Amino acid sequence: MAVRCPAILIAAPASGQGKTTVACALARLHARQGRRVRVFKCGPDFLDPYWLALASGAPVHQLDLWMTGEADCARRLHEAALQADLVIVEGVMGLFDGQPSAADLAQRFGLKVLAVIDASAMAGTFGALAWGLQHYRESLAFAGVLANRVASPGHAVMLQDGLRDPAQWLGALMRNEALTLPERHLGLVMDHELGDAMARLDAAADALAGTPLGQMTADDLQDWAVSFAPPDAPVQELPPDALQGQTIAVARDAAFCFLYAANLDCLRAMGARLVYFSPLLDVALPPCDALWLPGGYPELHAETMAANTGMKASIAAHVQCGKPVWAECGGMMALFDQLIALDGSIFPMWGILPGSATMQKRLAALGPQQLEVAGGTLRGHTFHYSTCATPLEASSRTQAAPGRTLRGGGEALYALGSVKASYFHAWFASSPSAAARLFLKNAHD
């Protein structure tokens, strides 16, 4: 049965305009007022959801018409609408960027678009950008525009005057470093790395409260109401007993933090018991049947990892017992013999895979891809600033998402004994049976 709920997609003309700050501010503002808020992130992203979850007080999942699938998007939105007073979807890159784009998602589910524009270096052109975003695709519903990083109240008046439709003005956020969410090479710094994370969100919410957008009441939000129906096509079925009785140790700390909440849900739904550990702080793995090393920032913690010889020995013992290991991106980097930093410093890693990972100044790979493994095809993406050199031959390689091309071939999948490793980040729900087999002994072939 369809259910109606206010929902908005927060987009921009490009990355770096302030989408995440505004999405967090809006979520925090309404959560403080006692409303149940659910936030989603459009496209593959591990870092923005940390902040969005902190702001909303609820888990944040991804929506992507290709990677997660249209039926999966429909199911998650419908389930959220059953529980929430407001659904917020943060877009990815620019509104029309990507295949599929945030605009495609908004159009498919009837979401109105709120455009955030960094107006710090413009005046009348602000109106042209807003007009273009609103009318570039005629079938797209538009909620209005918010000016970000505005210099002064006078500047805000100039921006507002530049709009052809004054009703589209949702206000201005003044330039304020206190509202900025800090970034580094892979995206936002995680919320728990900052002692003032919630204070930053509250400051952003307070600033938004002074705008027409921030002053919307529960009745006003009904202007954004959308009817969400359950999926009209089946989603990938979860084999409920596929991982029954299996304990999976999941690395989770500042060095290994690229985890989709939905991937954890998927493993638990198939019967797995998840136990978490820190390769930085713990000296041994917890008792487990399989090991998952997700991506993250091993390069920022290489010295600590190199000094933790107890964890290195424990992981080696796990592998020697023939227990499965699935390592993604940063997790794979840690399995090599060494990690070479940008300054040329060399740090010994865990020595499970022969070779080295070397940090690069520029992005080495980015984009949606899919990987055929035992049990099916996993969809996902790649995003990394390092390259690896190894004598291992790739057992297979990722393929480009439909409509995309790959330069220099896809990401390698390396297989050595019970270990499988790749730069590829998998979305487990795209093929639960394939995901389950990554963690089952004697199921790697």
- Give yes or no for a contact between 218 and 84, defined as CB atoms under 8 angstroms apart: no
* 329 has catalytic annotation: yes
Question: Smallest Cα–Cα separation from 264: which of 433, 427, 45?
Answer: 427
Residue range(s) in the chain whose domain bears CATH number 3.40.50.300: 3-228
Per-residue pLDDT of 291-312, as tens digits, reads: 999 999 999 999 999 999 999 9
Contact 103, 95 (CB under 8 A): yes
Pairing of strands 225-228, 3-11: antiparallel
Q: Quick one: tokens of 156? A: 């805000």
* 387 strand-pairing partners: 358
Helix then strand count (H, E) for the chain reads 13, 27
pLDDT of 184 reads 41
Q: Residue 292: its pLDDT value, please?
A: 98
- The answer to whether the CB of 282 falls within 8 A of the CB of 311 is yes
d(CA 195, CA 14): 29
Spell out the residues 6+ positions from residue 11 whose beta carbon is closer than 8 angstroms to its own.
19, 91, 94, 95, 102, 103, 106, 113, 114, 115, 116, 133
Token digits of residue 404: 């995309």
Give the model's pLDDT for residue 185. Answer: 46
User: CB–CB of 386/299 below 8 Å?
Assistant: yes
Closest CA to 93 of 398, 368, 330, 399: 368
DSSP state of 173: E
Cα gap 151→160, rounded to integer Å: 13
- Residue 146 phi/psi, 5° resolution? -120, 130
Distance CA 62, CA 305 (A): 30
DSSP string, 339-373: EE-TTS-EEE---SEEEEEEE-SS--EEEEEEEEE
Which residue among the candidates 257, 288, 329, 388 is catalytic per the annotation?
329
Which pLDDT value is given to residue 186? Answer: 47
State the maximum Cα–Cα separation within the chain, in Å, rounded to a whole number.
69
Token pair in block for residue 116: 């955030």
Asked whether 145 and 118 are in contact (CB, 8 A), the reply is no
Residues (pLDDT < 50) of the chain are 184-188, 191, 444-445
The pLDDT value recorded for residue 319 is 97
Q: Which residue has the tokens 């509104």?
A: 95
Give the model's pLDDT for residue 118. Answer: 97
How many CB atoms are located within 10 Å of the residue 31 CB?
Answer: 21
Q: Is the dihedral of CA 313, 318, 320, 321 positive or negative?
A: positive
Rounded to whole angstroms, how far apart are CA atoms 86 and 218? 9
- Which residues have C-beta within 8 Å of that of residue 206, sequence separation ≥ 6? none
Which of 283, 279, 287 has the alpha carbon at shortest distance from 256?
Answer: 279
CB 10 within 8 A of CB 112: no
CA–CA dist 102, 13 (Å, integer):
11
Residue 285 CB coordination number (10 Å)? 20
Q: What is the CATH number of domain 3-228?
A: 3.40.50.300
Q: At the top level of CATH, which class does the domain 247-437 belong to? A: alpha beta
Which two tokens mark 364? Answer: 């080495």
Q: How many CB atoms lie within 10 A of CB 131?
A: 17
Q: CATH 3.40.50.880 in the chain: give the residue spans.
A: 247-437
